[in-house]
Amino acid sequence: MKLAGRKILVTGASQGFGLAVAERCLAEGADVAVCARSKATIEQAAATLRAKAAPGRRVFAAACDVSDAKAVDALVAETTRELGGLDGLVNNAGVYGPKGAIEDVDWAEWAKAMEINLYGTILPCRSVLPAFRARGWGKIVNLSGGGATAPLPRLSAYAASKAAVVRFTETLAEEVRGTRIDVNAVAPGALNTRLLDEVLAAGPEKVGKAFYDRSLKQKADGGAPLEKGAALIAFLLSSESDGITGKLLSAVWDPWAELPARLAELEKSDIYTLRRIVPKDRGKDWGDS
């Protein structure tokens, strides 16, 4: 029961990975608030969560556009009232956005994807920080993705926004360093969720043959288990991870359960962060002034 007695808000939790995270938080003893843009779908998700919740666990659900600052502030205020406080935030809401070459996609759709993925991460952080600072403790987990660390041709809004989310995570972690507020990003792995279905529906002409073929294989193989990413997020929301901050962690590839024993090493290094690769990193003897 890593999260016994804690109150956690999960955005984009009506289905898929967000719902799995909310379920894991409940299983670990937390009270949970969930939101999504659609009132009908988030209420359905809340019913699912309540059916699985142990006696005494609370589930609060609300519709919210996380790219709308006023709506986010109202959500955080209502969540705090309903749950009696807020200890952790998981920014999971996100979209792929338009698919295709940048000169061909609809600009309004591209900009909206940036708003949902990037603003929809920053605004909830802004809203919870005053209470976290006042209390001197808090946990924030932001969702990254494959676009953060490698180019994703024909999915440029997603790639650019997710890279920005990781750099924002690192930056916010430095802003709140010393306050006992930990801020991290998570790459949950290649998940078989609605985003994968969108890629397959778009077809190779829109997303490119290589990415489409990888997506077909992922669909057939089953993808990364949702539970792996949810377990990492529960760890980062718990006191077990205290002091681990400003990192991008892979649920599938990184030995995250061992990191508390390496806290001193992590604090003094750029391990698990975005950085520029220079020639000497690849064994070259040129490029240094």
Active site residues: 158
What are 62's two structure tokens?
């609300």
Q: Which residue has the tokens 């600052």?
A: 69
- Which residues, at least 6 apart from 22, have a Cβ–Cβ distance to it below 8 Å? 8, 10, 13, 32, 34, 45, 49
What are 136's two structure tokens?
């001197």
Q: How far apart are the C-alpha atoms of 186 and 14, rounded to whole Å?
A: 19
Q: How far is CA 153 from CA 138, 146, 215, 219, in A?
A: 36, 12, 14, 20
Q: What is the greatest pairwise CA distance in the chain?
A: 64
Taking alpha carbons only, the member of 142, 184, 9 closest to residue 86 is 9
Q: How far apart are the C-alpha atoms of 66 and 38, rounded to whole Å?
A: 12
Q: How far apart are the C-alpha atoms of 200 and 211, rounded to whole Å?
A: 10
Is residue 184 a contact partner of residue 173, using CB atoms and an 8 Å limit?
yes
Alpha-carbon torsion, ordered 22, 27, 29, 35, to 10 deg = 10
Q: How far apart are the C-alpha atoms of 160 and 96, rounded to whole Å?
A: 11
| Residue 18: strand pairing partners | none
Is residue 272 a contact partner of residue 248, using CB atoms and an 8 Å limit?
yes
Q: Which residue has the tokens 């290649």?
A: 190
